Amino acid sequence: MRIATWNVNSVAARLPRLLAWLGSAQPDVLCLQELKCATDGFPQDEIGELGYETAAYGVGRWNGVAILSRVGLADVSRGLIDEPGYSGVSEPRAIGATCDGLRVWSVYVPNGREPGHPHYEYKLRWLEALRATVAAESSKERAFAVLGDFNIAPTDDDVWDISRFAESTHVTGPEREALAALRSAGLSDIVPRALKYDRPYTYWDYRQLAFPHNNGMRIDLVYGDAKFAGAVDDAYVDREARKGKGASDHAPVVVDFTL
C-alpha cells in the first residue's frame, strides 16, 4: 500500500495539481491539510472520479483536513479527545478513519505564531489532546499512523539554518517535547528510517527563493506504531510537486508499506 500526506494550502487553488498528482503517484490513502474550504465545499465528486472515497472536515477560509482512500473508508472521527479551541472557537484540524485495516489520522497542528503568544499555548494544549487521542486509538488491534503538518521540526537538522530560528516557533523545547510524548505513546518518526538521503525538507517559504536555494524545513511528518513501522518498505518527499507556478509551499510525503 501507499500512503501520503500533503498540506495543499487551499484545495480549490490546488485542485488541478491534486488530481494530476493522484493520477501519477497513485496513493491508496492521502491525508490532506489546510483545505481552506468548508466540508460541503470539498471537491469530492472530482476526486471520486479517480476512485477515491473522501472524508473532509472544514469550516471555510482557514485550516481544514481530509482523508482520501481507494481501499475503504470507515469509522470516521472528526476532532481529538478533549480538543481545545482557540478564542472560543473549535478549529477543524484532525480527522481519523480506518482504511483497509490501518487506522489513520490526518492532522494540521496549530502554528503557534511565537513563544509566549496565546496561540503558542494553544498549540501545546492541542498537542496534548493529540497525545491522548493517540494513546486511546493506538492500543487497538490494528496498525496506526498519524500524518500531517505538525508545524514542528523534530531536530536542528530538520531546518536549513538553525541560527535563523532563535526565539521562533517550530524548534522550541516544549514543541519537541510534545513530539517526544507521541513517541512515548508508542509511535516513531517513520520517514528518516526509510529515506536514503539527508535533510528531507517538506516545506519551503514562497519568499526569498527558498525552494531553489533549498532553504526548507521538515515539518510534515509520518508517525506510526510498531505494526506500521515494521511494515514500511520505502518513503520519499515528492519535491517535483513543489516545483512550478501555483504549487503549494509544502511537498507530499509518501510512504510505501506492506501490512
pLDDT of residue 197: 62
Strands of 140-205 (E only): list them.
Answer: 143-149, 188-189, 203-204
Predicted local confidence at residue 191, as pLDDT: 84
Residue 65 CA from chain centroid, whole number:
9
Single-letter residue type at 145: A
Residue 145: its pLDDT value, please? 98
Domain containing 154 equals: 2-257
Query: What is the structure's pLDDT at 41?
Result: 96
Q: Whose CA is closest to 14, among 46, 48, 39?
A: 46
Cα separation of 226 and 124, whole Å? Answer: 25
So what's the pLDDT on residue 195?
65
Q: How distant, in Å, are the alpha carbons of 1, 58, 98 from that of 12?
A: 27, 13, 26
Spell out the per-residue pLDDT of the chain, length 259, in tens: 999 999 999 999 999 999 999 999 999 999 999 999 999 999 999 999 999 999 999 998 789 999 999 999 999 999 999 999 999 999 999 999 999 999 999 999 999 999 999 999 999 999 999 999 999 998 888 999 999 999 999 999 999 999 998 879 999 999 999 999 999 999 999 987 656 666 789 999 999 999 999 999 999 999 999 999 999 999 999 999 999 999 999 999 999 999 8
Continuous segment of H or E residues that includes residue 88: none
Residue 69's closest CA among 116, 103, 92, 35?
103
pLDDT given for residue 60 in this prediction: 84
Rounded distance, CA 109 to CA 121, Å?
A: 12
Please give the tally of structural domains in the chain: 1
147, burial (CB in 10 Å: exposed 0-12, middle 13-18, buried 19+): buried
Q: How far apart are CA 177 and CA 172, in angstroms?
A: 9
**For residue 202, what is the domain's CATH number?**
3.60.10.10
- C-alpha closest to that of 66 among 51, 79, 54: 54
Q: What pLDDT sits at residue 196?
A: 60
Neighbours of 24 (CB within 10 A): 10
Kindly report whether the global pTM for this prediction surpasses the value 0.85: yes
Which element (helix H / strand E) includes 237? strand 232-237
The single-letter DSSP state of residue 154 is S
List b or e across 40-72, with b for residues whose CB sees 16 or more CB atoms inside 10 angstroms: ebbbbeebeeeebbbbbbbbeeebbbbbbbbbe
